[in-house]
Amino acid sequence: MHGHGTSARTADAQRASGARASRAAKAAPASGTAARTASADEVTRLKARVRELASELTRTQEATRRRVAQELHDSLGAEVTAARFALANVETWLPADAPPQCTTALETAQRSLDAVTEAAQQAVTELHAPTLDKGIVCALSHWINTFAARTGLRMSFVCAADARLMRLSADASLAVFRVAQEALNNVAKHARASGADMRIEATAHHLSIVVSDDGIGIPPHAGQDERQFGLAGMRARCNAFDGELQVGASDGDASGTTVHARFEWKALMGNASRPRARRTAIRL
């Protein structure tokens, strides 16, 4: 009897141990799934926070641009006008036997004021938000033509014929425009290039801007201070729409730099429906 009772208790213990092991085995996958879900939720939350901060940064940048443009237009314009009147008065008061160097100096001053006025007007134009009523493609095409005429750079612009480009919101269009604008301004300021090519590419999930130049290539220190090349602002605009920015040497043996800015269509379009992209392209 004693042996039989011991065997029964041993069997009961083994069954209980097996049940606990079974429950633990069932709980382990559930625990792992919960951990993965929590991790995925945290990643989603962090991505949303990055988008929020990037959007706030770009809004601040645009507000600063408007403020600086207004200050240039008002204050600098008034000062230049006052200087022109003063020079005109000096020219009027000059005696007939004044040395020719006086007239030459006045003419030099006038040319300097003309240069300052032109530079200020160009700066105000660059700082103001572009007119996007006719869409991002039209705005970029117009700006690139003006840019090429002003800088003397050879330019080409190829854009994917995608209907979604015409339905971008004002914020999305402005982000795309500013990234393209800054990339080309960097070419004019730093690349010592003779030409640059811009492409707008569209896939099912992403809109990309690719700018390549034939200049001296990206400086080794470019990554140390992104503010000098406007890369921080460009990166923030990409991040605001779940995208990324890559800057590096051009492919192949050619010299130069290539900027690749990518935006996610889903973020650009919000909740708007997204028809399938067409694979043709238009050249402007």
pLDDT, tens digit, 9 for 90 and up, residues 48-97: 676 676 667 667 766 776 677 677 666 777 888 888 888 888 888 888 88
Mind listing the pLDDT tens digit for each residue in 215-250? 998 776 665 566 667 888 899 899 989 999 999 887
Residues in CB range of 112: below 8 A, 6 or more apart: none
Q: Is the Cβ–Cβ distance between 280 and 161 less than 8 Å? A: yes
Evaluate whether residue 35 is within a structural domain: no
Q: What's 275's domain CATH number?
A: 3.30.565.10
80 lies in some domain: no
Q: Is residue 34 part of a domain?
A: no
- Per-residue pLDDT at 208 exceeds 80: yes
Instruction: Examine residue 89 and state whether it is found in any structural domain, yes or no.
Output: no
Beta bridge partners of 159: 200, 282
Is residue 135 in a domain? yes
Residue 273 has what pLDDT? 39
Predicted local distance difference test score (pLDDT) of residue 229:
75
d(CA 61, CA 169): 18
Residue 188 lies in a domain: yes
Q: Which domain holds residue 261?
A: 130-283
3-state secondary structure of 270: coil
In a domain, 27, yes or no: no
pLDDT for the residue numbered 122: 72
- Pairing of the two strands 281-283 and 244-249: unpaired
Q: Is residue 121 part of a domain?
A: no
Nearest to 186 by CA among 143, 160, 219: 219
| Range name among 45-54, 154-163, 224-233, 261-270 with the lowest pLDDT average | 45-54
- Pairing between β-strand 154-160 and β-strand 195-202 as defined by DSSP bridges: parallel
- Tokens 């207004």 belong to which residue? 70
CA distances from 225 to 59, 61, 164, 234, 267 (A): 22, 18, 35, 13, 28
Residue type, 39: S
Q: Domains in the chain: how many in total? A: 1
- Cα–Cα distance measured from residue 201 to residue 160, given in angstroms and rounded to the nearest whole number: 5
In this structure, the dihedral spanned by the alpha carbons of residues 178, 180, 183 and 187, taken in order and rounded to 10 degrees, is -120
Q: Is 217 left (phi over 0), alpha (psi -120 to 50) or beta?
A: left
